[in-house]
Structure 1
Amino acid sequence: MTGEFDLIARLVEVVEEARRDAGASDAESGVVIGSGDDAAVTAPDGVSVTSVDAFVEGVHFRRDTASLDSIGHKGMAAALSDLAAMGAAPGEAYVQLGIPTDLDESGSVELATGLGRAAAANGVAVIGGDVTRAPVLLLALTVVGHAADADELVLRSGARPGDVVAVTGELGGAAAGLVLLQRPELAADLGEEVAVALRGRQLEPWPRLAAGRDLAKAGATAMIDLSDGLGGDAAHVARASSAGLAIELEGLPLQAGVEAVADAAGLDRWDLATAGGEDYELLATLPPERLADARSAVAGTGTALTPIGEVTEGEGVSLRQADGSVREASGFDQLGR
């Protein structure tokens, strides 16, 4: 395999090519010195918002069900989703790659291509990182966003009783897509367009960066991205806000095909929508009088904002079923399964 420094140079070239193809420049993002020195130099305006994510083969992805291009794309998109949840504008990214012995240079380039394309499409400059040998494929990303002032950002802790609970986009698609990747025969009765959309939702999600900024401007009181599932992530907001979240299951916007996949696989559609995770939509709480403006703003980004419940006194998350009963809220636990 190519030596470390030659490989790094090749990967930097691939990522920078994707950025040029997107028509971006370092000057636009506040980058003073990018890749090529011992450290990068930036000169951002306002405050910086930083998040770290790691994606490990066998835990977060499998190379027998996802292409290396898709793995790179998803890693970057998932990391950027945390910036979306804060209402931050995207800025820079730093990438650590752990490469196993069975991944050659062409595979590493394919991974970097997907990662670089997702970064460039979202206005992100990849300006640093490292490559090392690892027992399995490892992708660790540090992403940095920006805001003019810390008061512009939205935390998990601001939800108040009486606020509306709302979500962007549609739910359950990523979990249903994973089912199809594991059991491809179930796609036969779905129709090609629906099956492709569900698999794509699992393999190549997109962060709601523009919607996150618009929700922040519209007065969202709390926000979180749905990486671990609606139930578990809503519980994070409830805990941080010392409040309860009451969510109506029948009001959840399910992606087309989720119910059909659930039925074919003998699963519960609400489990796919609330516990499956990886939809990377945003859950936000807003004062009722701000909902209309927020829905209009989010619609301008190409997606919908759907009210699904309310913030209550008390604690925890209630997932209310049509018959009035309440089901337990759960989500993906990185260390629990």
Structure 2
Amino acid sequence: MRSEFDLIAALVERLPPPADGIRVPSGDDAAVVEARGRATATTVDAVVEGVHFTPAFPRRAVGRKALAAALSDLAAMGAEPGEAYVALGVPEGVEDADLLELADGLAEVAGREGVSVAGGDVTRAPALTLAVTCVGLEPPGGRLVSRGGASVGEVVVVTGELGGAAAALLALEAGSSEESELAPQFDPRPRLEAGRALAAAGVTAMIDVSDGAGADAVHIAAASGVRIEIEAARLPVAAAARERSSGAEAAIALAISGGEDYELLATLSPDRLEAASEALGPGTQLSEVGRVMEGEGVTVLAADGRELEPGGFDHMRGSRSG
């Protein structure tokens, strides 16, 4: 294996060139980035082998997933992406070629989403780990959205489809090598443009669906001091989730608690729903799935009125609840 500094140099060579606003890029003691006179949103997200991905994941896919997951947090704020910083923990036995593949995955997402990887660190670790810090900017003339703005009487909406990432994980565990089937796990796409469009359209609270729609709705409810009711039958369930499930209710369970779809769950006034759909454009589906009520917590209702468990991923337990 290369020395630490040779490895860092080799990794940096794989990344896109720094943006104009970065005065001192990766390779120095710290990155120097010009202030841009706008509010910033900063997030830290880590992926760890054995928790967020398995040894079956191609290393390039791990790099893609690590950066995409962090950028999804910026999407949930309605932010423009700026810089990313990557701390890489490397266990014994990982080859240089594996790490260069990781860098290629990072570079692929960075180039596609317009992000500069401006710095980071490499160190030994018990498990392969990528901790990614991303900095985003408030759009010019726009606004950033938190989880805490939902109000009673508003509706709950979600972009795209749910359950596809959980279905992809089931496919991987079943031995599938079909690229399109595994793409939700190997190449997730953060909804950066959609997040900015929804923020401009007036959503009041927003979160990315990383732990599961039910669990992530709990975060909005808690931050906003409200109760959220979700109608399971209105959830946009991905076709792959239906195909990988034993029945309709099992498919809905994947949509509610599967997680890692990186869609956006938001609240807004009912009279802004049409404007929000139009802001997203014809390429992105927006589904009304529930409502905001007085109280606390989240209720997921089946078509027959039964309450379903919101579930979701617990990072400290390393498992899904519900």
TM-score, normalised by the number of residues in structure 2: 0.94
Deviation at residue 249 of structure 1 after TM alignment: 0.8
Pair 1:233-2:216 in alignment: yes
Stretches of structure 1 that go unaligned for 5 or more consecutive residues are none
Q: Which residue of 1 aligns with 2:311?
A: 330
Displacement of 1:225:
0.4
Write the letter of the residue equivalent to 1:26. Answer: A
Name which of 107, 110, 130 aligns with 1:119: 110
User: Which of 49, 54, 68 is residue 62 of structure 1 equivalent to?
Assistant: 54
Question: Aligned residue for 1:84?
Answer: 75
Do the aligned residues in 2 keep the contact of 1:223 with 1:285 (CA within 8 Å)? yes
Question: 254-263 or 211-220: which moved more?
Answer: 254-263
Aligned residue for 2:9?
9
Deviations 1:195-222 (A, max 9, x none): 6433111221110000001110000000
8 A Cα contact 2:211 2:260, kept in partner: yes
1:167 aligns with 2:158: yes
1:148 positional shift: 5.0
Is 1:140 aligned to 2:131, yes or no?
Answer: yes
User: Would you say the 8 A contact 1:156–1:222 is kept in 2?
Assistant: yes
Q: Which runs of 5+ in 2 are unaligned?
A: none
Please tell me the residue identity of whatever aligns with 1:333.
Answer: D
- What are the within-5 Å matches in structure 2 for residues 185-334 of structure 1? 196-263=179-246, 268-299=250-281, 302-334=283-315
1:315-337 CA distance string (max 9 Å, x none): 11111111122212111000123
Identity of aligned residues (%): 51
Paired residue type of 1:226: V
Tell me which residue corresponds to 2:96. Answer: 105
After superposition, the Cα gap between the structure-2 partners of 1:151 and 1:121, relative to the gap in structure 1 and judged at 3 Å, is: closer
1:177 maps to 2:168: yes
Shift in Å, 1:271 = 1.5
Could you tell me which of 44, 69, 81 is aligned with 1:52? 44
SS in structure 2 at match of 1:227 = coil
Over the residues paired in the alignment, what is the CA RMSD in angstroms? 1.8
Tell me how far 1:135 sits from its aligned partner.
2.1
Does structure 1 conserve the Cα–Cα contact (< 8 Å) formed by 2:79 and 2:139? no
TM-score (norm 1): 0.90
CA contact (8 A) 1:47 1:149 kept: no
Task: Tell me, yes or no, if the aligned pair for 1:275 and 1:330 is still in contact at 8 Å.
Answer: yes
Deviations 1:168-201 (A, max 9, x none): 11000000111111113xx6xxxx9xx6433111
Residue 91 of structure 1 aligns to which amino acid in structure 2?
A: G
More deviation, 82-91/142-151: 142-151
Instruction: Please identify, of 252-261 and 78-87, the stretch whose mean Cα deviation from structure 2 is larger.
Output: 252-261
Structure with the higher helix share, 1 or 2: 1
Contact 1:174 1:198 in 2 (8 A): no
In the TM superposition, 1:32-51 aligns within 5 A as 32-45=23-36, 46-51=38-43
Change (3 A) 1:71 1:267: farther
Measured in 1, the distance between the counterparts of 2:217 and 2:141 equals 23
| Deviation beyond 2 Å, 4+ runs, structure 1 | 148-151, 195-198
Cα deviation for residue 84 of structure 1 reads 0.5
* Whole-angstrom CA distance in 1 between matches of 2:28 and 2:266: 40
SS at match of 2:189: coil
